[in-house]
Amino acid sequence: MSNANLYTVLSSGFPEDRKQIALETPDLLYTWEDVEQASACLANLLASLNLPEGSRVAVQVEKSPEALLLYLATLRAGLVYLPLNTAYREAEIAYFLKDAEPAVVVCSSKNLEWVSKVAEEAGTRHVFTLDEDRTGTLLSAAAQQPREFETVLREADDLAAILYTSGTTGRSKGAMLSHGNLASNAQVLHTYWGWRPDDVLLHMLPIFHVHGLFVASHGALLAGARMIWLPKLDVEQALRYLPRCTVMMGVPTYYVRLLAEERFNRDVCARMRLFISGSAPLLMETFNEFKARTGHTILERYGMSETVMLTSNPYYPAAGERLGGTVGKALPGVHVRVVDDRDEVLPVGEIGNVQVRGPNVFSGYWRMPEKTKEEFTTDGWFRTGDVGRFGGESGGAQVPADYLSIVGRSKDLIISGGYNVYPKEIELIIDEMPGVLESAVIGVAHPDFGEAVVAVVVPREGATIDTDAMQAELKTRIANFKVPKQLHVVDQLPRNTMGKVQKNVLRETYKTA
């Protein structure tokens, strides 16, 4: 029986000549041999802890090649990887650790004090540090370990990773992804996007979410292609490296920022074969401007933490045109349908709820069987919470019947710079602040982030609210991208006859704020 461990699948694509370069940073080169040996040392370290099957390894560290190696090592050791956004603050991390009960936590040394405290409260026995300059207790301990490791056997259904996504109730849920979910998606995208061993990927995305960790990294690893590994989006660095690259992935803000730089032009993109956008809607304006400036048509695709990638515009011209304003066709093996509120399939051209199924779709939310049940139909389709349409029209052109467009969301969600923000989570925190009667959080158009978080707050009778102090307080309690860019104080919130807050009215009122 072949090993369904995702690492085994990915490493089947590593080049025969392991002396070739796998990862390049502005200062260092890592060969494929380095990737194998360093991930083996780390896997040996994890194995030496004698953890029970299915143990979670929670990681909140700055992006570095070693952070990627730790992810690969966790797969190799057969443990479950749990990446955490570096912007999360203590209360947020405390929730995740309490919920996931990881056996191992790896954090930045600057956060060690408070992370150790919350890890202990969650019952975690092993806390290591890992910093972006290759220091920390994790690497010191791994350095003592052998450089060979036999990747642990895993079945396709075994859990590989848990990704936390927020929810409309304000309580985050851990999406459980198996080795099979991730491997099937990597293999489909490998073919669909025409990955080649001589590709060079410009990797500037964070590696604590699906986009940077799975879609981008898996693509290059499985192709045995080189990654230029930068800690974050940096337009100067992008201009420096793009002339050597063939593939880039980003959320729409990446493309907006590149276009804002005059030096970004056709010459810079001379070797590029593919620019991919996802995680949030790409504006038609950005799609068109990019084409005019560079001659390249951005390929937009659509996915979720719970499902990895679902649909994509075509890469090969024979498979169809790349159409702005659409997210393309269901990927091979993935099924997508648009239904009404009774789960009845709608005709092409009609707008409804997007539901999906396929080998990439997760098995459920960590320790939330009831929530999981709610999100699946009785016949096994996952309710994405996105609202879409097959066919119809986009940018004045007719869209083929098998192309999906995302036109809205039934879930109350804001996507800011590619990060999801659930209003309920922020409203619950604001409502508990002194002098606050109630609040409503909305998303408004933002030129850089696509959408920005805005809060509208009603004070209690006789109370006054200092919005600057409130914003400063929020910054200490929640990840910075969730903190409202603006806070407005009003006497009352607009409500409909049922007493429900009319967020559409607020969005209209504050759209130019």
Let me know: does 394 contact 326? Beta carbons within 8 Å. yes
What are 45's two structure tokens?
A: 């370290």
> CA-based angle 86:87:92, to the nearest 5?
100
Largest CA distance in the chain: 73
**Counting contacts by CB under 6 A, is residue 386 touching ligand AMP?**
yes
Let me know: does 405 contact 349? Beta carbons within 8 Å. no
Segment interacting with ligand AMP (CB under 6 A) among 121-129, 363-371, 382-390, 461-469: 382-390
- Pick the binder of ligand AMP from 100, 223, 304, 440 (CB under 6 A): 304
CA distances (Å), origin 299, targets 17, 55, 324, 400: 31, 37, 8, 16
Q: What is the DSSP letter of 211?
A: I
Segment interacting with ligand AMP (CB under 6 A) among 27-35, 150-158, 302-310, 505-513: 302-310
**Counting contacts by CB under 6 A, is residue 406 touching ligand AMP?**
yes
In the list ligand AMP, ligand MCA, none, the entry touching 300 (Cβ below 5 to 8 angstroms by class) is ligand AMP
Segment interacting with ligand MCA (CB under 6 A) among 217-225, 301-309, 360-368, 434-442: 301-309
**Counting contacts by CB under 6 A, is residue 326 touching ligand AMP?**
no
> Shortest distance, CB of residue 212 to ligand MCA, whole angstroms?
5
Binding mask 200-219 for ligand AMP (x = CB under 6 A): ----------x---------
- Which of 262, 302, 257, 294 has its CA nearest to residue 275? 294
In the list ligand AMP, ligand MCA, none, the entry touching 312 (Cβ below 5 to 8 angstroms by class) is none
**What sign has the CA pseudo-torsion 372, 407, 250, 504?**
negative
User: Which CB sits closer to ligand AMP, 4 or 233?
Assistant: 233
Q: What is the DSSP letter of 265?
A: S
**Counting contacts by CB under 6 A, is residue 425 touching ligand AMP?**
no
* CB-nearest residue to ligand AMP: 305
Let me know: does 354 contact 335? Beta carbons within 8 Å. no
Size of the site for ligand AMP (CB under 6 A): 19
Q: How many residues does the chain have?
A: 513
CA distances (Å), origin 244, targets 20, 272, 273, 357, 360: 16, 8, 11, 38, 32
Relative to beta strand 299-304, strand 226-229 is unpaired
The three-class DSSP label of residue 496 is: coil
Let me know: does 9 contact 178? Beta carbons within 8 Å. no
Q: Which residue has the tokens 């570096």?
A: 86
Using CB under 6 A, which residues numbered 375 to 434 contact ligand MCA? 416-419
> Shortest distance, CB of residue 385 to ligand MCA, whole angstroms?
13
> Shortest distance, CB of residue 207 to ligand MCA, whole angstroms?
9
Contacts of 292 (CB under 8 A, 6+ apart): none
User: Which CB sits closer to ligand MCA, 120 or 285?
Assistant: 285
Let me know: does 298 contact 255? Beta carbons within 8 Å. yes
Q: Distance between terminal CA atoms of the chain?
A: 60
- Pick the binder of ligand MCA from 212, 328, 391, 423 (CB under 6 A): 212
- Pick the binder of ligand MCA from 174, 278, 352, 385 (CB under 6 A): 278
Using CB under 6 A, which residues numbered 5 to 44 contact ligand AMP? none
Let me know: does 329 contact 311? Beta carbons within 8 Å. yes
**Counting contacts by CB under 6 A, is residue 255 touching ligand MCA?**
no
What are 210's two structure tokens?
A: 């699906």
User: Which CB sits closer to ligand AMP, 63 or 211?
Assistant: 211
In the list ligand AMP, ligand MCA, none, the entry touching 406 (Cβ below 5 to 8 angstroms by class) is ligand AMP
Q: What is the DSSP letter of 223?
A: H
**Counting contacts by CB under 6 A, is residue 302 touching ligand AMP?**
yes
**Counting contacts by CB under 6 A, is residue 253 touching ligand MCA?**
yes
Using CB under 6 A, which residues numbered 238 to 267 contact ligand AMP? none
Give the C-alpha separation, 242 to 68, whole Å: 22
Segment interacting with ligand AMP (CB under 6 A) among 82-90, 220-228, 378-386, 424-432: 378-386
**Counting contacts by CB under 6 A, is residue 474 touching ligand MCA?**
no
In the list ligand AMP, ligand MCA, none, the entry touching 360 (Cβ below 5 to 8 angstroms by class) is none
- Which of 234, 319, 311, 304 has its CA nearest to residue 276? 311
**Counting contacts by CB under 6 A, is residue 102 touching ligand MCA?**
no
> Shortest distance, CB of residue 235 to ligand AMP, whole angstroms?
22
Give the C-alpha separation, 509 to 494, whole Å: 11
What are 36's two structure tokens?
A: 């194998």
> Shortest distance, CB of residue 386 to ligand AMP, whole angstroms?
5
Residues that bind ligand MCA (CB under 6 A): 205-206, 209-212, 232-233, 251, 253, 278-279, 303-305, 416-419, 449, 480-481
Residues that bind ligand AMP (CB under 6 A): 165, 210, 278-281, 300, 302-305, 327, 384-386, 406, 409, 415, 420
